Structure 1
Amino acid sequence: MSNEAPKQQRRAKGKALVGNKFKNWLFNAPGVVDTAKLGTLVDRAVARAQQRETEHHAVGGNAAATAGILAGLRRDLPAKSAEWSDAALEDYLFCARLLGKESLGMELFDTQLLAAASMLRDTVVEMDTGEGKTLVGALVAGAHALRGHRVHVLTVNDYLAGRDAHWMAPFFKLLGVTAASVTEALGAAERQQAYLADIVYVSVNELGFDVLRDRTSTEPEESVLQPLDVCIVDEIDSVLVDEATVPLVLAGRARSELQSVDVAAFVCELRPDLDYTVEADRRNVSLTDNGLRSAEVRWPGVELYSAEGTPLFSSINVALHAQVLLQRDVDYIVRDGKAEIVSDSRGRVAALQRWPDGLQAAVETKEGLHKTEQGEVLDQLLVRDLVKSFASVTGMSGTAVAVSEYLRTHYSLDAGRIPSHKLCIREDRPEQIYATAAQRDAAVVAAAAAAHSTGQPVLVGTHSVAASERFAALLAARGIDCQVLNARNDSLEAEIVAQAGRRAAVTVSTQMAGRGTDILLGGTVATLAGHGAVAALGGLLVIIVGRFYSPRLDAQLRGRAGRQGDPGASVIFSSMGDPAANGQEAHGLELSDSVARDLDDAGRVTRADVSKLLDRAQRLAEQERLETAQNSWKYNELIAYQRQVVLAERDKILREDGAALKAFEALQDADGVDGSVSTPRDPGPGRLQELRSALGAERLAAVCKSVMLFELDGQWSDHLALLSEQRAAIHLRSLGRQNPLDEFRRETISAFDGFFDRVNKGALESLGALEVVDRDVDLEAAGLRRGSTTWTYVANENPFGSQSDQAVKWLLKKMGR
């Protein structure tokens, strides 16, 4: 595709740049930078590339022509220097433009080069759908690799990691750097080899799991990762904002079963409003006084708020949450005999994700599924802390500027808008608001059918698996065949979305909507005539059924239409019963009474200001989510620091020859050596000498290392479990007018006090418990086994209203407050 835009489009692009610059200056938007300042540098690089192509009348030989410049860049750039000079950056962009065309057959847009230049100057970039973010990420990764950095490109799933690494491989080859991808299917040896590449494409979760596995390795050669240096994050706002406090968890089989009571039958009998109430935002459900009395009748003699009643009270709350708040085909799907969580920010199945054990078991009981094995958390890592482990972070997204202030405050990152390669002519139609969901749904089907009758392709975006399948059935009843894309068939995502631009195609999707795959008008094998025919019909029509919790998700779905100057349209159909409107009372937006007088015959709201009020409610709701995520991170901040202290000691034991043995000898010396001979179960001062005689010095050193690492990991797991219990009850401190966060930090410091003393004591006891058989010891038989299972826990602040929250509400009610 030619990079020469018509004069009208170039003028529009210039006006957009000037307009953005003025807007940023006028409002002084925190964290927003003007990307246009690098435009002159980009123009010079493009002019050089065009001149060379004109002189040579072909692209052949560009690799040879750029080899000297690239070699100079490697030689002249200070090793891992902080910033590219203007001259070096211009040289790189010149080479990248030539090599991109030669290796990939793609002529880089000026805007792609501008985005790459901005990212190399540490700016997160916002680019519209279809503007080539994947190629921009490759340009930035290649530049960092040239100067000796190891680069990780973080994607949202394994499919994109594998696809992008393979797709960009010819470009990286001409640059003289290596690239690989890491996916769930790779074994340890293959992972080690992949991470040796200059550039590694890997999903966020997979990288986090590898970090956790390396943290619990027992031999240095088991580690697969290289030092974390440069990180390029695709969909950066989703990763650093929406999922920042999702903890990646390494778990092993629990040492003891959770204390719980079978309450499933009791919960199923409870009646809404009479026995329990659900808060307007549907984040919490709680027993009423009548519900509490019913529990007391079912289990006479048990005081729910006493220590003895804690397991029962907790089990009821968890089961009630699973029964009432978690909806099948909305929050999770049942597939292959398992309950699989659906990510509310992406609409995809959250691979390897599960709820904390009690809630997981409650959902499985509700659905009649086989209960999964209970786990014990060995270690955890927040996505936020994973990304902040890198020396340098940047990224791209379609909606980064909307969270620029958050990125600036929490990650010291600025964001900037990159103009579209071609002027966006998509028509974003006024929102259609209806009194009820049923009226809204009827209007959606009518709008989709009307567009379909003309041959215009339609994409219907829904909130859930259930909603997507319901609309598919409604459309089928009208004689309209459609493709359905949701968490059930996410493996076919790219294939389905790639064909969504065909003439008369109707696709019903959750918000996953195939991000990462372009929707080409006319389909993937469209001819110029086919593209033009669909364009003449108005391009893709995106119908969004109900606002999402964030305006960014609405914008991302809108952005599926109007790719690179194509025509297209989008419209949101809402109802007063949607989640975006449900929080109206909490935000002072009492709409329900006023709109009743302003409806047309179809139930559509005719008041002009209602959409603006919903805008406000949606913004406030998103702000609450951001504050909740930030609050959750504050509770984990000190734990992350303590983990670094433990890891420093662990790394010493792991990598320094004989470090564990020396530690045991120091402990023995501290106890005093009296020359006595210990029994196998007595960790006395003579035990080391006995084991040295039986095992030899080399084997003894290895055993000491295994024992010490096991105790370090075990004590850390116990520490996490203790803090989890304290976290669940810390809100009770608010009754005494104490700050729960301050109190939790104080408890966390107190709990960590004496940590290494407990490790040493446990290690001595474990060493004393080892039995020598045939001049060796069986560590597994002695109970020193390792955990190997990985999953993620769903991270919400008080995801189902903790026991302590319920207790506080009950006590305040009894106190008349």
Structure 2
Amino acid sequence: MLKNWFDPSKKELKRAKKIADAVFLLEDEMAALSDDQLKQKTEEFKSRYQKGETLEELMVEAFAVVREASRRVTGLFPYFVQVQGAVAIYGGNIAEMRTGEGKTLTAVMPAYLHALNGEGVHIVTVNEYLAGREVEGEIGDLFRFLGLTVGLNIRELNREQKKEAYDCDILYSTNSELGFDYLRDHMVLYAKDMVAQRGLNYAIIDEVDSILIDEARTPLIISGGSKNNQNLYQAADRFAKSIRDEDYEIEIESKSIALTQSGIEKAERIFQIDNLYELKHVSLVHHINNALRANYIMSRDKEYVVNDGEVLIVDQFTGRILRGRQFSEGLHQALEAKESVQVKRETVTVATITYQNFFRMYKKLSGMTGTAKTEEEEFRDIYNMDVIEIPTNAPIIRKDEPDFIYATLKDKFKSLVDEVEERHKLGQPLLIGTIAVETSEMLSFMLKQRRINHEVLNAKNHEREAEIVAKAGLKGGVTIATNMAGRGTDIKLGEGVVELGGLAVIGSERHESRRIDNQLRGRSGRQGDPGYSRFYLSAEDELMMRFGGESFKRRIETLERINTTDEPLSSKLFSRFVTSAQKRIEGNNYDSRKTVLKYDDVLRKQREIIYQNRREVLTFESIEDQVRQTVSNALYGQATQFIHAVGKNEYKIDYDQLLAHFNGNVFHLDTIKKEDIEKLNEQEINNFIVDLGLSELDKKKEAFPPEVYNEFLKVVMLRVIDTYWMRHIDAMSELRQGVTLQAYGQQQPLTIYQKEGLRMFNEMVQNISNDVARYAIRAQIKYDQEREAVVKNTQTNQGVEDKKPKKPKVRKNKNQRNLPWR
């Protein structure tokens, strides 16, 4: 009860109600305006903002303008609850609005208001189809009617087209494309090539739980080049397939796998090594663990499918095939070895970021979804957003019936198909939700045996998704869907269906996330329509096996034996058991996302420093001061290595070593003469070498026009920073794999990663300084100097849905000449 007292929803809804009341009071005033007068309001608001009015002060009028414009352009007049949702979103929160309540239109109000400040608004969707639908459809027309520009950001655009889209007032994009653009913007060679020129100001995320929770465990990765370790994948796979049950242990709850003592001894014998867990064998252990996971935890047609000799990932939350996306850290290659298809070369990571850290960089973040309350703690802790439950426009009259539970899968599926047949005879449309592709195919086979016409919507057959969903609510329709009942598409009821009780939703098992179950239920009973939902469970379901095991199954069998009513078992006790199992998994998943974030936080700080330096090289007119400072620090530090304290204020200077280091390595041969430095003390030697370096720079500066000299310095800085940073990113990725596989002297892997990561970063910064000094002093300046990318032919780890990726247009790049020092 106490929790409800402190529920932020209540306070925010109270505030939102007052604002919505004020918006509705302006209804007649706005209706009296002509189209031109209504459009003119945008310029008026912008002018008032420039003169000092805040967006909050403009909110009521702006929302009233959007409502009236929407009525004229789309024929839809936002309800009171939609205005309340808009206020919650504008406040940097998540509006939880049920399916069919018009989230898309709700987002227009806060997006329009925020666009008045000229900094740009990003509306983030789960796929390109939805983004395109909004931009090219009525919602885009509504923004354009109000005088705002609307851009669409999709994969296949070139940089000029992307830049144009980012310059719009409103940008629709997928989450992955925004993240990759951010990474690519910090790999470009010229400031003009950065697509997000205005930075990350305000984002409204549609289906915020899918993007910030479900996808948060997979970081965005840009890779290039390749490592030469294919043979190790095949060797590890042969080993994994050769072992017996006693050689490995699976932890069912956490879905992890490890070798037992007998398995370790077998590995040491086969790979001919003394101790598998010595540090030098980290890579081998990593490959073995991946092979074990691929063979004994990952299932074909569940987590992935094999199509035309390719391993393709199935999105566990939507059931769609993610073409082009790869499991990271070598797991994808392990699956390819398992399935005996060609093992792709594992690439080198050159840029990476997690969704959590990317979206936390926005100055303001908000979102909307039908299901977020179960993850409220995570949204508050990581993103500082509250979940505000917005009331429905019409009361929900869907009947959510208690779960039925059976001892075996066979009994469960027979009863489920019996109910489908019964309701289908009456003509009531049914949506059957499954978790795995194989379950949908098995149910399809059972329905065919009973001659029930139906559609199957799963990862193997989703080109017709929009068409299938459009027909799912018609009389007599039966649709089997794998984790993809919706997300941006409403199932509208056909004629005469309301009288039959609306859409009936049948769940074939519980998902490990309560949200996904709620999404399935939410497909029915939209906007006050009637509806029905029930889940069918068995003691042999994966969720039950993970948390109940054999003892739970025996209990169900006993209850079934003493059940004399012939009614299926259904009780609050089972429901509580299922909910508690789901909560435990949600807790585990939250912990795993928090761990990903803690590791990425180490890299985040380093990334911010490097990206800031790199941005300055690109955007500053001259970087001469920065280079001179870098050269001074580097030379001073290098000279100090050869000066050793031997007593109080007494130093021994190693002249021979000093000359060997600087002559030929930093300066040209014979630049420093021994007689020049023998008479100098320790401080004078440092100054002498620094002055020598700076005078070399001065000579270059005097010999060339300022723009040529400055471009030379930029070429040096960019090349050195990029070379070391990309090596560092890959080394950090290797380090992470290493520390998670090893328990060094009882220390926490994260602690080792933090300490070792800091040491490696400091070493990298020192190396960058030394190389900048060396190249700035030694390299020759050429008039036709061009900047050049360190890694070419990069690729991302996030694929496209539904279609094979288009070949990018290759634009000839004249910037491919060698740098002067190569």
Q: TM-score, normalised by structure 1?
A: 0.84
Of 507-516 and 490-499, more deviation after overlay is shown by 490-499
Q: 1:106 aligns with which of 76, 85, 92?
A: 76
1:17-63 Cα distance to aligned partner (Å, 9 max, x none): xxxxxx7874534677441443243234334425765xx7xxxx642
Quick one: structure 1 residues 264 and 423, their matched pair in 2 at CA, closer, same or farther if it must change by over 3 Å? same
Q: 1:725 aligns with which of 728, 734, 741?
A: 734
Q: Contact 2:225–2:791 (CA<8 Å) still a contact in 1? A: no
Q: 1:457 aligns with which of 416, 429, 432?
A: 429
Q: Contact 2:431–2:480 (CA<8 Å) still a contact in 1? A: yes
Matched, 1:240 2:212: yes
Quick one: structure 1 residues 370 and 771, their matched pair in 2 at CA, closer, same or farther if it must change by over 3 Å? farther
Matched, 1:578 2:541: yes
**Structure 2 counterpart of 1:372:** 344
Q: Letter of the aligned partner of 2:447 in structure 1? A: L
CA distance in 2, matches of 1:486, 1:206: 24
Q: 2:604 aligns with which of 640, 643, 654?
A: 640
Q: CA shift at 1:268, angstroms?
A: 5.7
CA distance in 2, matches of 1:542, 1:416: 26
What are the residue-to-residue correspondences of 1:522-671 with 2, within 5 Å?
522=494, 530=495, 533-584=496-547, 591-599=552-560, 604-605=568-569, 608-659=572-623, 663=627, 667=631, 671=635
Structure 2: tracts of 5 or more residues without a match: 640-658, 672-692, 800-822
Name the SS of the counterpart of 1:543 in structure 2: strand
Q: Letter of the aligned partner of 2:65 in structure 1? A: C
Quick one: structure 1 residues 490 and 694, their matched pair in 2 at CA, closer, same or farther if it must change by over 3 Å? farther
Q: Contact 1:158–1:202 (CA<8 Å) still a contact in 2? A: yes
What are the residue-to-residue correspondences of 1:44-193 with 2, within 5 Å?
44-49=22-27, 62-67=34-39, 69-77=41-49, 84-85=56-57, 88-167=58-137, 168-193=139-164
Number of residue pairs the alignment of both structures matches = 748
Of 719-728 and 509-518, more deviation after overlay is shown by 719-728
Identity in percent: 29
Q: Contact 1:436–1:603 (CA<8 Å) still a contact in 2? A: no
Quick one: structure 1 residues 639 and 297, their matched pair in 2 at CA, closer, same or farther if it must change by over 3 Å? closer
Quick one: structure 1 residues 475 and 166, their matched pair in 2 at CA, closer, same or farther if it must change by over 3 Å? same
Matched, 1:788 2:788: no
Matched, 1:316 2:272: no
What are the residue-to-residue correspondences of 1:411-422 with 2, within 5 Å?
411-422=383-394
1:573-618 Cα distance to aligned partner (Å, 9 max, x none): 11222233233269xx963343331116889545551221111111
Quick one: structure 1 residues 690 and 371, their matched pair in 2 at CA, closer, same or farther if it must change by over 3 Å? farther
Of 657-666 and 63-72, more deviation after overlay is shown by 657-666
Quick one: structure 1 residues 341 and 38, their matched pair in 2 at CA, closer, same or farther if it must change by over 3 Å? same
Name the SS of the counterpart of 2:216 in structure 1: coil
CA distance in 2, matches of 1:196, 1:544: 45
Q: CA shift at 1:443, angstroms?
A: 2.2
Q: 2:174 aligns with which of 198, 203, 221?
A: 203
**Structure 2 counterpart of 1:41:** 19
Q: Contact 1:494–1:514 (CA<8 Å) still a contact in 2? A: no
Of 502-511 and 290-299, more deviation after overlay is shown by 290-299
Q: Contact 2:232–2:284 (CA<8 Å) still a contact in 1? A: yes
**Structure 2 counterpart of 1:515:** 487
Q: TM-score, normalised by structure 2?
A: 0.83
Quick one: structure 1 residues 709 and 436, their matched pair in 2 at CA, closer, same or farther if it must change by over 3 Å? farther
Q: Contact 1:681–1:770 (CA<8 Å) still a contact in 2? A: no
Of 243-252 and 301-310, more deviation after overlay is shown by 301-310
CA distance in 2, matches of 1:255, 1:149: 42
1:5-25 Cα distance to aligned partner (Å, 9 max, x none): xxxxxxxxxxxxxxxxxx787
Matched, 1:747 2:756: yes
Name the SS of the counterpart of 1:596 in structure 2: helix
CA distance in 2, matches of 1:373, 1:661: 43
Matched, 1:503 2:475: yes
CA distance in 2, matches of 1:452, 1:277: 45
Quick one: structure 1 residues 223 and 478, their matched pair in 2 at CA, closer, same or farther if it must change by over 3 Å? same
Q: CA shift at 1:107, angstroms?
A: 2.0
Q: Contact 2:237–2:334 (CA<8 Å) still a contact in 1? A: no
CA distance in 2, matches of 1:262, 1:115: 54
Q: Letter of the aligned partner of 1:788 in structure 2? A: T
CA distance in 1, matches of 2:282, 2:567: 49
Name the SS of the counterpart of 1:131 in structure 2: coil
1:286-342 Cα distance to aligned partner (Å, 9 max, x none): 223333343344344553223454444332221121112111111112234422212
Quick one: structure 1 residues 307 and 95, their matched pair in 2 at CA, closer, same or farther if it must change by over 3 Å? closer
**Structure 1 counterpart of 2:317:** 345
Q: CA shift at 1:241, angstroms?
A: 2.4
Name the SS of the counterpart of 1:591 in structure 2: helix
Q: Contact 1:172–1:178 (CA<8 Å) still a contact in 2? A: yes
Report the aligned-residue RMSD: 3.4
Q: Letter of the aligned partner of 1:178 in structure 2? A: T
Q: CA shift at 1:194, angstroms?
A: 0.7
**Structure 2 counterpart of 1:12:** none
What are the residue-to-residue correspondences of 1:249-398 with 2, within 5 Å?
249-254=221-226, 257=229, 260=232, 262-263=234-235, 266-267=238-239, 269-270=241-242, 273-281=245-253, 283-307=255-279, 309-350=281-322, 352-398=324-370
CA distance in 1, matches of 2:752, 2:264: 30
Q: Contact 1:267–1:323 (CA<8 Å) still a contact in 2? A: no
Q: CA shift at 1:267, angstroms?
A: 3.7
Structure 1: tracts of 5 or more residues without a match: 1-22, 523-529, 794-817
Name the SS of the counterpart of 2:140 in structure 1: helix
Rg larger in structure: 2
1:491-540 Cα distance to aligned partner (Å, 9 max, x none): 43222212211111111111121210111111xxxxxxx2xx11111111
CA distance in 1, matches of 2:325, 2:262: 35
Q: Contact 2:635–2:773 (CA<8 Å) still a contact in 1? A: no
Q: CA shift at 1:744, angstroms?
A: 2.7
CA distance in 1, matches of 2:299, 2:420: 27
**Structure 2 counterpart of 1:813:** none
